[in-house]
Amino acid sequence: MEITKDIKYAGVNDHEVDLFEGQYIVPNGMAYNSYVIMDEKIAVMDTVDKNFKDEWLNNIKEIVGDKTPDYLVVQHMEPDHSANIDAFAEAYPDAQIVSSKKAFVMMGQFFGTDFADRQVVVGEGSTLELGAHTLNFVTAPMVHWPEVIMTYDSTDKVLFAADGFGKFGALDVDEDWACEARRYYFGIVGKYGKQVQAVLKKAAALDIATICPLHGPILKEDLGYYIDLYDKWSSYQPEEEGIFIAYTSVYGNTEKAVELLVEKLKEKGAETVEASDLAREDMAEAVEDAFRYDRLVLATTTYNNDIFPFMREFIADLVERDYQNRTIALIENGTWGPVAAKKMRAMLEGGKNLTFAENTVTIKSALNEASIAQIEALADELVK
């Protein structure tokens, strides 16, 4: 695949991965992107996952033909991209390795060598001349590891964006970009909004025609769309108006309350209402939806004088990612001594600009007239 006349795709598709980064389901697999810049000097941009060493080395061989790469640029040391640095170093003993100082320390940790005699250390503002192409390095600390650099090819106006603008899904599967990019962003990068904002500011000063991320498709058209979403996500602003209901239900009674709330909200004119059973549906998808919409309803059971485990995990996921700027409503169920609403609120209370709905619903075992009235009142408040 040709990105520009001189930049070729050398990455791989992974349909075998069970859980990406040890926790995320990837029904459509995963792509580990790598690129080769063909110039007087040849640069390879990042490696791929360890299971694809041979395929990746073959891809490079096919691209470079009878030439050999001069540089391997390592933008990110997480092993989905860095696992084959040693294999590359062995295959091309004269090539140098270009990376940040912190990344070389990590290479020492991962490989038992920091390739001291082959290092080219780069930082903010460093450049590397390949011939016609100049690579300009931009540091991107904590997006989402500390050693990350991005690389701007000022000749072809290409930004190699490391994990930025990446998504779940292999490149041989056609699917909506935003859905799996949002799940990826909030799952993996979501905690680091401030750092993403800092990189977006640097990127705004560059004339970018193409974004080459380490996962997901190469972005060429309508870059404003992607950059605008990244700006919203990293500044913790809701992407759109809508109500997301995250719930757990042990015997179906809390679920019935959720169903009733969905019905009432729709009756009262709410256009977007989505609900997810946290015990049975993908938690990362629920986290993504909580950030996508401006209103969140949490419905759960009192359990061991606390809250049901899946809800506790969900709220912890939100808090860890600095959940803010949203309205939150609470529904609790308890056969005796319901405390779930109080406990959920306590977990979230430190979040910036979180508004709690005035109406809280308390169910004692099953819906009754009183709790149905509370749901009606909550629905009114949420669509107001």
The interface region with ligand FEO, picked from 73-81, 105-113, 150-158, 248-256 by CB under 6 A, is 73-81
Supply 37's token pair: 């810049």
Q: Should residue 215 be labelled a site residue for ligand FEO when binding is judged by CB under 6 A?
A: yes
Q: Should residue 141 be labelled a site residue for ligand FEO when binding is judged by CB under 6 A?
A: no
**CB 144 → ligand FEO: shortest distance, Å?**
6
Closest CB to ligand FEO among 226 and 293? 226
Among 330, 317, 305, 316, CA closest to 254: 330
Write the DSSP assignment of 275-300 as a string of letters: EEETTTS-HHHHHHHHHHEEEEEEEE
The interface region with ligand FEO, picked from 65-73, 75-83, 341-349, 370-378 by CB under 6 A, is 75-83
To 10 degrees, what angle do helices 223-234 and 193-204 make? 150
**CB 374 → ligand FEO: shortest distance, Å?**
44
CA 67 to chain CA centroid, nearest Å: 36
Closest CB to ligand FEO among 145 and 356? 145
**C-alpha to C-alpha distance for 167 and 218, rounded to whole angstroms:** 11
Q: Should residue 80 be labelled a site residue for ligand FEO when binding is judged by CB under 6 A?
A: yes
Give the residue at shortest CB distance from ligand FEO: 78
Supply 65's token pair: 């033909």
User: How many residues of this chain interact with ligand FEO, rule: CB under 6 A?
Assistant: 8
Contact 342, 306 (CB under 8 A): no
Q: Should residue 321 be labelled a site residue for ligand FEO when binding is judged by CB under 6 A?
A: no
Closest CB to ligand FEO among 33 and 249? 33
Q: Is 49 left (phi over 0), alpha (psi -120 to 50) or beta?
A: beta
Q: Should residue 167 be labelled a site residue for ligand FEO when binding is judged by CB under 6 A?
A: no
Q: Should residue 76 be labelled a site residue for ligand FEO when binding is judged by CB under 6 A?
A: yes
The interface region with ligand FEO, picked from 78-86, 331-339, 359-367, 373-381 by CB under 6 A, is 78-86
**CB 80 → ligand FEO: shortest distance, Å?**
5
Amino acid at 310: F
140 phi and psi angles, rounded to 5 deg: -135, 60
The interface region with ligand FEO, picked from 36-44, 72-80, 149-157, 245-253 by CB under 6 A, is 72-80
**CB 81 → ligand FEO: shortest distance, Å?**
6
User: If you ran DSSP here, which 8-state letter would residue 185 be given?
Assistant: I
**C-alpha to C-alpha distance for 319 and 340, rounded to whole angstroms:** 17
Other beta carbons less than 10 A from residue 29's beta carbon: 17
CA angle at 199 for the pair 227 and 217, rounded to the nearest 5°: 45
**CB 189 → ligand FEO: shortest distance, Å?**
8
Write the DSSP assignment of 84-130 as a string of letters: THHHHHHH-TT-EEEE-HHHHHHHHHHHS---GGGEEE--TT-EEE-
**C-alpha to C-alpha distance for 26 and 176, rounded to whole angstroms:** 14
Closest CB to ligand FEO among 31 and 367? 31
Please select the residue that binds ligand FEO; options are 53, 81, 295, 326, rule is CB under 6 A: 81
Q: Should residue 214 be labelled a site residue for ligand FEO when binding is judged by CB under 6 A?
A: yes
Please select the residue that binds ligand FEO; options are 78, 86, 274, 381, rule is CB under 6 A: 78
**CB 38 → ligand FEO: shortest distance, Å?**
24
Other beta carbons less than 10 A from residue 19's beta carbon: 9
**CB 83 → ligand FEO: shortest distance, Å?**
11
Closest CB to ligand FEO among 102 and 343? 102
**CB 292 → ligand FEO: shortest distance, Å?**
22
**CB 5 → ligand FEO: shortest distance, Å?**
27
**CB 162 → ligand FEO: shortest distance, Å?**
8
Please select the residue that binds ligand FEO; options are 6, 46, 147, 163, rule is CB under 6 A: 163
Which DSSP helix (H) or strand (E) runs through 230? helix 223-234
- The residues near 312 (Cβ < 8 Å, ≥ 6 apart) are 306, 347
Contact 375, 359 (CB under 8 A): no
Contact residues: ligand FEO, CB under 6 A: 76, 78, 80-81, 144, 163, 214-215
